Structure 1
Amino acid sequence: MKLFLKFEAVTTGIALRGAIMFLLIATGLALYQVTTRFVFGQPSTWSEVITRSAMIWSVFLAVAPAFREGTMIAVEIVQKMLPPRLGFALYLVSMTMSLTFFGILFWQGWAMTERVVPQKLAALEISIAWVYAALPVGSIFILIAILGCMVRAMETGTIEPADVSR
């Protein structure tokens, strides 16, 4: 299990760095878009599309570190009101439901990505599948992070989040 937890820490770190990178790209291109539109009066046709796509990637990659750090919306107040063993069981049930949801999202995201391969992004000559690929790719990172949370919880008997910076 230690090997899996190390793997999970590495993959979640990759997802976090990817999310940061895409957020920086989106921020820079949004600034560029505003500048070209309102300062020069010549709006860029391509920067808005890439900004939106980078935001989508950023969100899907950031969910994995959010799970690892325990910053996703939780039923923590209910867990703390229950007896410890029942609260722990509720945590495992909620994580299992999250695994199910993101497993389905992976499967459907993969299918959607395959279906849109022939379509092109507006103002660009690249496939929109590159944007849709955020669903299955992000879901893989998220599934690994959730499994890591569950393994840590089973090993320690607590539901304390891990430090994403490790």
Structure 2
Amino acid sequence: MTHATLWLACTLFGIASMIGLMQIFTRFVLKLPTPWSEVSIRILLIWMVFMGIPIAFRRGAMISVDLMYRKSSPWFRPKLEIFITAVTLAFLITLTWWGMRFSLMAGNVQTIIGLEPLKMFWAYISLPIGSALAMIAVIGNYLEPKHEELETAQ
């Protein structure tokens, strides 16, 4: 899953970059701005971020309470990891629940300005999908810990 979300996030970034270059060319060289390019870039970047979050969680590279982790005793560290995992999962469950509700309620009513045939559902659904994938990554990091943030900070 980590490799697939990393590949998807990188692909979305590449597509957003190409659309951005095309937008610059059409706006400033051809003097024909494209109304759909800016909103497309914004939606692609939102998707990129929510596809990148699981990677950061799985690698243990999210900002955490690393000072507490470093200063804690070996006896307390497993309890701290359980607490951090539980709080993170509670937040991601909440984000998934409310993100899904919002996607289904508002997403099917609103259209994307500049891309009128598409509903905002396709932009909003990135939140619950990314959060659900991040939950899997958090559990994976708990079962097989990786602390890349701590390793690079030293």
What is the TM-score when the length of structure 2 is the normalising length?
0.89
Aligned counterparts of 2:75 and 2:5: Cα–Cα separation in 1: 32
What is the TM-score when the length of structure 1 is the normalising length?
0.83
Deviations 1:11-38 (A, max 9, x none): 2222111111111111111111122112
- Is 1:85 aligned with 2:75? yes
- Is 1:141 aligned with 2:133? yes
* Partner in structure 2 of residue 109 of structure 1: 99
Structure having the higher strand fraction is 2
- Is 1:58 aligned with 2:54? no
Aligned counterparts of 2:128 and 2:13: Cα–Cα separation in 1: 19
Deviations 1:62-104 (A, max 9, x none): 0001111121101112111110121332122112111111111
* Partner in structure 2 of residue 120 of structure 1: 111
8 Å CA contact 1:57, 1:134 repeated in 2: yes
8 Å CA contact 1:79, 1:88 repeated in 2: no
* Partner in structure 2 of residue 6 of structure 1: none
8 Å CA contact 1:12, 1:141 repeated in 2: no
Aligned counterparts of 2:62 and 2:133: Cα–Cα separation in 1: 15
Q: Percent identity?
A: 32
Structure 1 residues 75 and 81: CA distance shift in structure 2, 3 A: same
Aligned counterparts of 2:58 and 2:14: Cα–Cα separation in 1: 22
1:71 to 42, 46, 61: 61
8 Å CA contact 2:61, 2:147 repeated in 1: no
Ranges in structure 2 where 5+ consecutive residues have no aligned partner:
149-154
Coordinate RMSD, CA, aligned: 1.3
Runs of 4+ in 1 over 4 A off after TM superposition: none
1:24 to 7, 14, 33: 14
